[in-house]
């Protein structure tokens, strides 16, 4: 399960936003509110507004409604100084950075956006896949093989021609799946060229910047959230290690969030009420190679004494999980899978 890779050192939890109107109740008091607008579209629906306290670790995001209004409920922003950022593909904030002082009562800050002249850095992987030419198989090949350790952005912004791609494709196979672009972790096994590389290298050189300073096709954008899709609050927590790779987060009966790390033998515990994080080195793999924690086969093959036998610790978790589902908000039966591991860690503290 690789639910967290694109935001590797951040744990994101999604809380449903209960629409006050459904219950005929008065709107909940807002700590911070305002209208998002631009010359091109005023007001603007579906703009993500993110608030992060200066030198804090928690980012709260809300989405502007059909009137362009964004609204941070008072329960979600305690008094303090916050920096606001926005995400609306095709636009940038007119006067970034936006800093606001949230106190007692409601603070009003309108946000003005300008159209961006440089769309490429804002595109998500899905938008790149929508934009690039190519057959279904070519795009599938690209997505499965190249959007795993990093996003498609470095691929699209590269200048390699087909010959240079031949070498780069082999270099990518040198890294194990727990790598990301700032944290290459070398595979213990030598990488080689594979059948099909030449064709793929030619395709890659037709969609990157090898032949022109800008992408030789129209860049397409997904529509912004609309209607009920805008009624959501997302809370993200920075983890203490910038290279943390949170993986398989689960919530226990005290609403503490536990996660394992994809690359290191570490289990972490996040208190979502305060953002406090404690991390524990996992004693289970002491003496094993730590840099391949994600892959028991590699640990077993690289660790004398295990004799190539990989303990199947993940099977019980995976068997109860529906394909493609994330473990955040997973049914209780999944959450209990972490208990034995947690007990062993706590008993070793």
Q: How many CA atoms lie within 13 A of 163 on its CB side?
A: 0
Q: Tell whether residue 320 is a contact of ligand HEC (CB under 6 A).
A: no
Stretch that binds ligand HEC, among 63-71, 108-116, 166-174, 331-339 (CB under 6 A): 166-174
Q: 108 — phi, psi (to 5°)?
A: -110, 125
Provide the minimum distance between the beta carbon of 185 and ligand HEC in the complex, in angstroms, as a whole number. 7
Q: Strand, helix or coil at 191? A: coil
Q: With CB under 6 A as the contact rule, which of the stretches 33-41, 164-172, 286-294, 303-311 interacts with ligand HEC? A: 164-172
Q: Does 155 sit near ligand HEC (CB under 6 A)?
A: yes
Among 14, 166, 170, 172, binds ligand HEC (CB under 6 A): 172
* Least separation in angstroms between CB 222 and ligand HEC: 23
80 and 53 Cβ atoms separated by less than 8 Å: yes
In degrees, to the nearest 5, what angle opens at C-alpha 293 toward C-alphas 292 and 296?
Answer: 90
> Measured from the CB atom, is 25 or 194 closer to ligand HEC?
194
Q: How far is the CB of 3 from ligand HEC (least distance, A)?
A: 16
Q: What is the phi-psi region of residue 283: left when phi exceeds 0, alpha when psi lies from -120 to 50, beta otherwise?
A: alpha
- Of 83, 67, 87, 77, the C-alpha closest to 32 is 77
Considering only residues 169, 219, 244, 291, which one is a binding residue for ligand HEC as defined by CB under 6 A?
Answer: 169
**Is there binding between residue 230 and ligand HEC (CB under 6 A)?**
no
The reply to whether 235 sits near ligand HEC by the rule CB under 6 A is: no
| Smallest distance from ligand HEC to CB 203, Å | 10
Which residues fall within 8 angstroms of residue 40, CB to CB, at 6 or more apart? 91, 115
Q: Which of 11, 35, 146, 207 binds ligand HEC (CB under 6 A)?
A: 146
Buried b (16+ CB within 10 A) or exposed e, 93-107: beeeebebebeeeeb
Distances (CA, A) of 40 to 27, 44, 66, 91, 223: 30, 9, 15, 10, 15
Among 168, 206, 289, 317, binds ligand HEC (CB under 6 A): 168
Determine the Cα–Cα distance for residues 188 and 251; give it in Å rounded to an integer. Answer: 34
Least Å distance, CB 136 to ligand HEC, is 17
**Residue from 27, 103, 154, 340 that binds ligand HEC (CB under 6 A)?**
154
CB closer to ligand HEC, 87 vs 301: 301
Residue with tokens 């473990």: 327
State yes or no: residue 184 binds ligand HEC (CB under 6 A): yes
The partner residues of 180 in beta bridges, in order of sequence, read 183
User: How is residue 254 written in tokens?
Assistant: 């005290």
Query: Which chain residues interact with ligand HEC by CB under 6 A?
Result: 145-146, 148-150, 154-155, 158, 168-169, 171-172, 175, 177, 179, 181, 184, 204
């Amino acid at each position: 399960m690789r639910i967290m890779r694109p935001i590797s050192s951040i744990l994101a939890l999604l809380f449903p936003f209960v629409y006050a109107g459904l219950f005929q109740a008065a709107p909940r008091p807002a700590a911070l509110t305002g209208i998002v607008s631009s010359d091109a579209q005023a007001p603007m629906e579906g703009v993500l507004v993110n608030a992060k306290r200066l030198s804090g670790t928690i980012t709260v995001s809300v989405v502007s409604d059909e009137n362009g209004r964004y609204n941070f409920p008072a329960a979600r922003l305690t008094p303090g100084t916050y920096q606001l950022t926005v995400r609306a593909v095709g636009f940038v904030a007119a006067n970034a950075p936006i800093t606001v002082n949230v106190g007692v009562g409601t603070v009003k800050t309108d946000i003005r956006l300008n159209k961006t002249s440089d769309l490429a850095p804002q595109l998500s992987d899905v938008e790149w896949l929508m934009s690039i030419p190519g057959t279904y198989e070519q795009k599938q090949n690209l997505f499965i093989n190249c959007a795993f350790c990093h996003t498609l952005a470095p691929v699209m912004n590269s200048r390699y021609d087909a010959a240079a791609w031949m070498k780069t494709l082999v270099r990518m196979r040198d890294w194990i799946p727990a790598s990301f672009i700032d944290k290459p972790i070398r595979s213990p096994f030598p990488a080689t060229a594979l059948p099909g590389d030449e064709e793929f290298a030619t395709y890659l050189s037709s969609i990157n910047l090898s032949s022109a300073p800008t992408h030789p096709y129209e860049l397409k954008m997904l529509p912004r959230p609309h209607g009920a899709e805008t009624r959501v609050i997302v809370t993200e927590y920075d983890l203490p290690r910038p290279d943390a790779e949170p993986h398989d987060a689960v919530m226990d009966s005290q609403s503490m969030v536990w996660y394992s790390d994809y690359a290191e033998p570490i289990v972490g515990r996040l208190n979502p009420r305060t953002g406090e994080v404690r991390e524990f080195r996992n004693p289970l793999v002491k003496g094993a190679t730590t840099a391949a924690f994600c892959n028991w086969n590699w640990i077993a093959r690289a660790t004398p004494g295990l004799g190539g036998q990989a303990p199947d610790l993940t099977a019980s978790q995976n068997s109860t999980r529906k394909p493609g589902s994330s473990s955040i908000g997973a049914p209780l039966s999944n959450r209990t899978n972490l208990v034995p591991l947690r007990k062993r860690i706590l008993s070793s503290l």
